[in-house]
Amino acid sequence: MNPLPSPLFPLYLQILLRENAKHNLTAITGPEEIRQKHFADSLALLDDDPCILPPHASLLDVGSGGGFPGVPLKLARPDIALTLLEATGKKAGFLRALAEELGIEAAVLHARAEICAHEPAHREQYDVVTARAVAALPMLCELCLPFVKPGGVFAAYKGPRENAEEELRAAANAIRILGARVERVHGESTAYGGRTRIVLRKISQTPAKYPRNHGAMTKKPL
Ligand code: SAM
């Protein structure tokens, strides 16, 4: 693994170890595993493509939980404007405290993506949207693509490549309806535990009716 690109990672690790039990942030509790499976995994997108985050890009991390992958990306790239979206109040509270303790600028939204994505302040406002371990790809696309500016990208952090390809097949309809196309699947090597990053490029506006409410998305995925 490359050295972690900010002296703030050890502090982030300490905070996670201290707060995990209170906030149920991660099932991973060993320091080395946290470095690999949270920090390095989050940063893998920058190794895939150092240009994926243009200078001063706006980045929204949907379902950020303990801050992944958004916070490691901000530590590596302090120039980006980071927003973290989290449905659970306790976790959103953790993320606010985390940003303060790390001394980083990050907006934290305590909201559900399917509601927030209809607000003009957030709809199609972000250059890059990320999400890891939030939902299966068809629903994840519906939750995340409405936030992406046309021309911007959505990077879905996923499991091993075979599963990513299966998910892509299942999500082909959703990707088309929501105004995106598949740009790349990164992570064929096992350097990051065999995980993959599916990068979708937004090529047109998302129809206004998406995302639908949670029940409709679950009952009838696109
Ligand atoms: N992304 C983090 C990671 O990779 O460690 C957290 C993953 S955790 C399994 C999923 C998180 O997504 C939870 O914190 C959950 O509250 C949040 N979440 C799930 N559905 C959401 C939604 N519709 N809107 C916002 N957050 C959501």
Angle at 174 between CA 176 and CA 214, to 5 degrees: 145
Least confident of 29-33, 111-115, 175-179, 187-191: 187-191
Digit-coded pLDDT (tens) for 15-66: 999 998 887 788 888 899 999 999 999 999 999 999 999 999 999 999 999 9
Digit-coded pLDDT (tens) for 107-126: 999 999 999 999 999 999 99
* Largest Cα–Cα separation, the chain: 45
Q: How far lies 181's CA from each of 45, 147, 153, 166, 195, in Å?
A: 18, 15, 10, 16, 21
Pocket test for ligand 1, best of 19, 85, 134, 157 (most atoms within 8 A of CB): 134
Answer whether 113 contacts ligand 1 (Cβ < 6 A). yes
3 state SS of 98: helix
Q: How far lies 175's CA from each of 26, 49, 51, 142, in Å?
A: 29, 21, 23, 8
Which runs of consecutive H residues, i.e. helices, occur in the chain? Answer: 9-23, 31-33, 41-48, 70-76, 89-102, 113-116, 137-144, 161-177, 214-219
Answer whether 133 contacts ligand 1 (Cβ < 6 A). yes
Chain centroid to CA 110: 15
Answer whether 124 contacts ligand 1 (Cβ < 6 A). no
- Whether the pLDDT of residue 190 is over 70: the answer is no
CA atoms of 209 and 110, how far apart (whole Å)? 22
- Whether the pLDDT of residue 1 is over 70: the answer is no
**Ligand 1 mean position, distance from CA 70 (Å):** 12
Angle at 136 between CA 74 and CA 111, to 5 degrees: 55
**Ligand 1 mean position, distance from CA 61 (Å):** 10
Answer whether 91 contacts ligand 1 (Cβ < 6 A). yes
